[in-house]
Amino acid sequence: MSDEVIGKWELSRRRVLASTAGLGLLGSAGRAFGQSAGPWSQAPKSKVDRLNFVVWTYGDIYTRIAKQFEADWGVKVDSTISSFNDHPTKLTTMFAAGEKIDVSQSSPFSFPNFVNQGLVEPIDSLPGAADYIKDFTPFTKQVATVNGKTMGLPYFSAVWVWNYYADMLEKLKIDKPFATYDEFIEHCMKAKKDGVSRYPVLWVAGVGLEQLPGTWYQMTWNRGGTFFDKQGNHMLGAGSVARETLKWWANTFEKGLDISDPESLKVQFTTSAKAFGAGKNLYRGPNHHYGLNVVNDPAQSPIAGKVKVHGSPGDGKTIGVTHVYFLTSATRDKEWGWKLLQYLGGKTKDGNYTQAISLAKDAMLGSGYTSVMNSDAVKQGWAPWGDVPAILKIWDQAAYIGEVCSSVYQPWHFPWTDQLNIEVQKCLTGQITADQCCDNLIKGIADAKRKV
Amino acid sequence: MSAGSFAFFMNLPTLFFLGLVLAYPVIYAGYLSVHQVGLAQLRRGVFAFNGWDNYSRVLEDPLFWIAIKNTSIFTAITVGSEVVLAVLIALLLNQTGIWTSRITRFLILLPYAIPPIANGLIWSFLYSFQFGFLNRILFSLGLIDDPINWAGNPDTALYAVTVPYIWRTLPFAIILVHAALQGIPRELYEAAAVDGARAWHRFWHITLPLLRPIIAIILVLRTAFAFAVFEEILAITQGGPGDATWVAAWYSYKITFSPPNNFGMGSASAFILTLMIGLIALVYMRMVYRRVTL
């Protein structure tokens, strides 16, 4: 009996394998067919001797993709790479100087400005663009669509999460991370009182477009607030959620409970992950999920493997963001520029989302494409650094940052953010109160609009 | 050809290149400062004239005045310290009897060879709150119990960035003062010694008056450079925390090169800064660079 069953199973297994192999071949053939038919695999009719992109640094991804482009199409790709914070300056300076720039990238915060200043070329009518747009995640649609036109392809997506140092929590005899903000304070105070951590929480409160502002946006959104209503009126007045959140946040710093690491005011996303890796803080957050690939990387962090991901209090609402690549209006050749843009933010010649998949596997970055987010590239690629189902659950609870702070769609958001960074840091260091800070920011909206 | 004409022709290439790399950008920035210039306009090369609008917007911006205040404090501290330290160190270097002065003469130049941005980054690591060498040394010496947030505290940040700046630029002042010291005739000191003048009197009545011209030059040059401090701010504080280290050059940079890229307003702010430095230089010259009577 059992042999018979085994025999049947063997048979069926063989059949399954055979069928799978057959399907695989068919699939490959189909893909090969797709390759030859897909617009990503066809060479533009025009000729160029070189192309270039202006981007901010991230490992060696740009060297690799430039080499692949050159190998596939025989066109050399020059790259201009700067830091994230210096990128807008680099790009705009090159643009102003009349240099040729084929492809560049943008955070969602600079993007409306770039569009407004005529730096970005719409891509709707370009071959294959419609297929990409269909595959965009909701975040990507919100960022890439400006005035009804599609202006870019996604670079990566991220959601804001909390991290905690599991060993420290265990040492404190606390069985699970905080579920409310009161609990958060309790845990931090206990960690400080017990001498387990002098500064239990490390925030990302360094000056930037989404570093310090992102932390405030996230906690405000999680508590049910926004910065602007649907009509564009500010929501920073007395009693507003944003204002109360800032009061609470400022109270965690030196002049209040003194549980916040003073380094918070300097660190950016990756530097905060590296600092957290020293094992001196209990909590880190809320900020980009992919910091886990630093704190849980044995080569970079002494506490690798001991940092866990954690959602936000209450209903777990959080925020997310997508950064984009775009074709510039200063391109030397629109068709070839589009081809290069696809290598960075779309498909390579073989019809794969090569860059998005390698970003997920190598850097734990999320994708702006639904098909990539649902693929094994994410599920398997992220696994070495964190609890993938937990992160994806948080992902499902994330809203695009523009819903929290709708000014990101406005060109004046950038100068206003400059002021926001200044005022909030002054508030966190006790130079002004949260009320003064918010009042100044309300006044600052009009000033920022005048600067555009 | 007369000697004067020959000299004029020999200087023409220099004048041409100086005009090209110095005068043209300055004049062009002046032109931009009275026009509405964003990114798109700059690329097209077509600008709308807007008179003094950029200047009035800069002068009405509270952040500009905060930047000027911070710059003035920064300049006063750095230039004052540089002059005093340069004179003291140059006097030591000038002591030919001290063998270490020869080594010191070489070592003193090292900070000047370090690129400003690298200097800023080095000090950024030194100042790091939890992991910086400065706090570690002070802690090891028992001078502090808790780390000090040098660059992250609004009360100390501006002073914190003055130190790396002084460290980097001091050698320049030392070299100038040292060179001037070597040019003072020894007979003056010998005559004073014969008259019974003590060291302090010799310094006060001979050395210092004869150093005045070089001190004037140091004051003018260092003030101009300190007013334009940028790299240390970029590397260490980026203007923060809050606006504690927003200085004038940082203001011009942010206005110009951050979206919405107001090149006109940025140029106007730079011109206002130039005017201020020019006025200060005039005051210096009147106060310090006067005829020396022994």
CATH code assigned at B249 = 1.10.3720.10
Residue B9 lies in a domain: no
* Nearest CA-CA partner of B77 in B176, B178, B191, B156: B156
Long-range contacts of B149-155 (CB under 8 A, 24+ apart): B149/A262, B151/A266, B151/B124, B151/B127, B151/B236, B151/B237, B152/A262, B152/A263, B152/A265, B152/A266, B152/A429, B152/B240, B152/B241, B153/A262, B153/A429, B153/B241, B154/A426, B154/A429, B154/A431, B154/B241, B154/B242, B154/B244
| Residue A9 pLDDT exceeds 50 | no
Residue B249 lies in a domain: yes
DSSP state letter for A50:
E
Helix (H, G, I), strand (E, B) or coil at A375: coil
Smallest CA–CA distance from B41 into chain A, residue: A96
Q: CB-based burial of residue A99 (10 Å sphere; 0-12 exposed, 13-18 middle, 19+ buried)?
A: middle
Domain ranges within chain A, ordered by starting residue: 44-157+322-381, 158-320+397-451
The CATH class given to the A158-320+397-451 domain equals: alpha beta
Question: A423 to chain B: which residues are within 8 Å by CB?
Answer: 242
What is the number of domains present in chain B? 1
Helical (H) or strand (E) element with B159: helix B157-182
Contacts of A239 (CB under 8 A, 6+ apart): none
Q: How many whole angstroms from its chain centre is CA B287?
A: 19
Chain-chain contact of A92 with B261 (C-beta, under 8 angstroms):
yes
Contacts of B123 (CB under 8 A, 6+ apart): B163, B164, B167, B232, B235, B236
Amino acid at B12: L
Model confidence at B290, pLDDT cuts 50, 70, 90, reads low
- State the pLDDT at residue A34: 40
Residue B142 structural domain: 62-288
Mean pLDDT of A13-31: 40
Contacts of A369 (CB under 8 A, 6+ apart): A132, A135, A136, A137, A140, A154, A353, A356
Chain-chain contact of A415 with B258 (C-beta, under 8 angstroms):
yes
Model confidence at A13, pLDDT cuts 50, 70, 90, reads very low
Each residue's pLDDT tens digit, B185-218: 989 999 998 988 888 999 999 999 999 989 988 9
Poorest-pLDDT segment among A229-243, A327-341, B108-122: B108-122
Q: Are B269 and B255 in contact (CB under 8 A)?
A: yes
Query: How many angstroms separate the CA atoms of A193 and A191, rounded?
Result: 6
Interface test with B, best of A83, A84, A92, A450 (most B CBs within 10 A): A92
Rounded to two decimals, what is the model's pTM?
0.82
Q: How many CB pairs under 8 A join A and B?
A: 102
Residue B33 lies in a domain: no
Residue B111: other Cβ atoms inside 10 A: 17
Each residue's pLDDT tens digit, A170-189: 999 999 999 999 999 999 99
Query: How many angstroms separate the CA atoms of A119 and A107, rounded?
Result: 14
CATH architecture of A44-157+322-381: 3-Layer(aba) Sandwich (3.40)
**Percentage helix, strand, coil, to 5, in chain B?**
75, 0, 25
Question: A425 to chain B: which residues are within 8 Å by CB?
Answer: 240-242
Chain-chain contact of B57 with A450 (C-beta, under 8 angstroms):
yes
Helix (H, G, I), strand (E, B) or coil at A29: helix
Model confidence at A2, pLDDT cuts 50, 70, 90, reads very low
Smallest CA–CA distance from A85 into chain B, residue: B258
